[in-house]
Amino acid sequence: MATAAHRGCPSRASEPPRLLLPLGIPTYSLRHGFYVWKAGTKPVTQLYPDWDIFWVRSGEASWEFADGRRLSAGPDEFIILPPSTPAVVSQSRPSMTFWFCHFGFRQAPSHIAEEWQPDFSGSAAPAAVPMRFSRREAPEVWKAYRDLTRLDASASVAGPHSWRLERALIVLIAHLAAFA
């Protein structure tokens, strides 16, 4: 799994790999939800064109990557997958449930009015976030993700309050970048 997101992010054998979050404005990809792994479910190949952050709620999930590496996450642990990263997810300890949230990044406008420039300035370097981390390590990420899960995507996406999903995602990614 030698994607561009991994280059320049060495990790020790005991630490999960790190991903470079791109510069840009986080964008909700119109998908988040709760998944219950039913008994007898076969491993599932995942390959998404956007970022995906999983929050394991119970049991244990394992992601196996094309290069043979494997990451596992138990209750209150998170896994982040960058775009176009094939992985096979399976249950490694029952009864597995998790939340998922898809998101992307769009480029900031190239010409920004002077009074808005403070809103678009930030670090010149992207943040390197671990692919696996826990609630204990990143309590603000956990709180922001929990707040996102309290929003009903199916009712909000097309409705007049869809901005709440976008705001919740921006808060989540801001805490993720601060943790990184």
**What type of residue sits at position 99?**
W
| pLDDT in the model for residue 157 | 54
Average pLDDT across each block of 10 residues of the chain; the chain has 180 residues. List them in order: 39 73 85 92 94 97 95 97 96 95 85 73 74 97 96 64 85 94
The rounded distance, in Å, linking the Cα atoms of 102 and 81 is 10
Distance CA 30, CA 107 (A): 18
Which tokens is 69 given? 């590496």
pTM of the model: 0.83
Rg (CA), the chain: 17
Q: What is the pLDDT of residue 22?
A: 86
Place of tokens 């002077």: 114
pLDDT at position 143, please?
98
- Output the pLDDT for position 127: 85
